[in-house]
Every structure is written in C-alpha cells, then in structure tokens.
Structure 1
Amino acid sequence: MARSPDLVGLTVLALLSVKPSHPYEMHRFILDTHKDYVTGLPRSLYHAVDRLARDELIVPFETSREGRRPERTVYELSDEGRAELTTRLRRLLTEPGQDTRGFLAAVSLMGCLPVREVERALLTRVAALESAVFSCDAHMKGLQESGLPRLLMLELECERALRHAELEWVRSVLEGLGSGQLAWSEQLKLDLLGETDEKDPAV
C-alpha cells in the first residue's frame, strides 16, 4: 500500500519557501486561509516542524523570547528542503491518485514552483488522465457488450466522470498558464502570505 503524502510537512516546506516563519505564524496562516487538508492542528504542525528540522530540511533562522513566554524559534528552508519541496509538489501535480487530498494540497501550494514547472507537471497529468478515461471507456464498452446490467457498472461510470471532470479542469488551468492569465511572482507570494502581528499564546 502506498504511503499517504505528508501534507502537513509539505505545507510547512511551502510556507518557509516564501519567508522564514515560526510555527505559530504558520498555524495562523493555515487557519486563516482554510487549508482544510491540514488536520490535527496544532499538534500535527509542531510534529511536522520537529521531523523536518531533524531531517535538516528546515533549519533555525533566529530565536527570540518575549517576557516569560517560551523561546520562539523562526525556521527557514534549507537547500535540501527546497529540493524536497519541489520533488513532492511535482509528484502530486503529475500523478493522479485515488486520494484527491494530495492533489488539492499541491494545487493550493503550486505557486511555490515556477509557472513553467507547474505547466510541465500538469501536462504530464493530462496525459495520465486521458489514458485513464480511455481505459474506462474501453472497459465499460466491453462490459456492455457482455450484457452486464448498468447497475453493476455505476462505479466505473462514476470513476470515468470524475476523471473526465478533473481532466477538463486541468486543461482549463493549462490554458490560463499558457495565455499568461494565470501567473504569479515572488512578490505575489509574499503578499499572499502576508505578515501577522498576533502573539503566540502562552503554552
């Protein structure tokens, strides 16, 4: 069984690719932007930060303390972490799977990659989706010719419809990328992440 992607860790890497941050700041951003694929907050976020730091994908940028509050560590992405982010995002954008959460997360975070890299990944996904739709059509045709009742093919029909809908949507995104109507820059990423003046509550 394929292991589920680490979507919390992926999100931490993506946010730190924009600017150094401390875990509470990332926590607030995840909540404020309704990244609902991230579950188990705040514990899952702090565990992800610990794992990534242990693997040296993120490293301390600075530490500070306010009054009697616990010491706060701001992290930044290491070179290895940046490469890992690119690899994880590219894989999720390229390869269709049964669990759609990974693709939704990758779509949410794909602005961390260069536009042309996203375009290449989605073109590969289109080819895979076209193949999946073709396979569903061939399978259903064979079942119909065998006399199998439609009731027993509804699951396959549903899968075909979902793949086809995703295919059309990805094509529309590629059209926007190709025309330049959908684009992003480093400044846009900074504007989207923004700054927060909220204080980390005492633990």
Structure 2
Amino acid sequence: MTSSRRKVSNLLGLAVLGLLQESPMHPHAMAATLRERGLDRSFKLTTGSLYDVVRALERAGWIAAQETARVGGRPERTVYAHTPLGKEEFVRWLDELLRVPADEYPKFLSAVTYLGALGPEGAAAALRERAGRLRELIDGIRREHEAALAEVPRLFVLEAEYALRVMETELAWAEQTVGEIEAGTLEWPDGWVVDTSSTKEA
C-alpha cells in the first residue's frame, strides 16, 4: 500500500503508532513523551493535531481504546493500544519510508534557489546568521542526545544522530559558501541583485 492510498498519511500517526509499539498510552502521555524525547522537532505536534490523528487511527482500525481511566481529579483519559492491523500498517509504512526516497520541499532549499537576489553582502550576512543559529541547535541536540543515552538504548535516539548529521552538513555548506562569497570566487551575474532602495524611501 503506497502513502497516497494509506488511510492515515499524517506522519504524526507514525509517531503515535511507534509509541504504542512500546506500550498502551493515552494522548496526553503521547504528547509528553514526544516532547521529552525532542521528537516534536520531527513531527508537527499540537494538542489538536495529536487528537485528530488519534481519532483517524481509531477510525482506520489501526488502534483501539483499551480502557478509560481517571487519576485523581483529572479528566478521564482513554488509553489506546495497537490492533493487529495497526501493527501491520506501522511496519509497512515504516519500511516504505526507509526504503523509498520521497520528494520533500524544505523552505531553506527554496530560499537558496534565489540567494543571488540578496547580493553578496546580504547573502553572506544571512548565511552567517543561519550558521550561528545552526551551531546553537547542534549544541542543544547534542546535549539532549547525550542525556537520552543515559536513559534509553541508542537505537531509540538514532533520529537525533541523523538530525545532527544533517545540520552539521548544512552548517559546513553555509560556512563554505560564505567563504566563497567573501573571497569573491562565487560570481554574481549582473542584474541579479534586487534593488529595494526605492521601497525603503517610500
């Protein structure tokens, strides 16, 4: 079954199925666990989107309510678990995502396409700032990864290692490109710099 025909295609659904692979869980605990593990960087997570996905997975027959429990004065919470079909779909979906490269449209790549419009100075300044922000992100993820390794097996935090490699590669590219701009080895064709002076004066 391809992703276009899959009853649930929101990747947050994959995260929910992954968590339920570990143990039955209610949505509040799912959200807390995803945030604790830093997985809210990998999956677009809001309370509304999580409950929408849980309902979609239940309608598809991939998860089912196991029990409804109340702790203290808190509202009742429904604990969900995989169905046999849900386990099969989880494995099939995961296998497909790992095997088949998909078209992705990152915002940064779109911006790099028109980097020339900023001019050499503007482009170098923007990339230098991005490089600084990337260093901060890399340091934060590295600290979180090291802390997580003290709690869980490395297999469960491989996504952090992948994120680090991607960011480190992007940082190296940004720094190299800034170096080429400053050295004058990256040519700027005539007419590519967007003149905004008239807009600023207005």
Q: TM-score range by the shorter chain?
A: 0.3 to 0.5
Q: State the TM-score, normalizing by the size of structure 1.
A: 0.46
- Structure exhibiting the larger radius of gyration computed from Cα positions: 2
**Which one has more relative contact order, counting CA pairs under 8 Å at least 6 apart?**
1
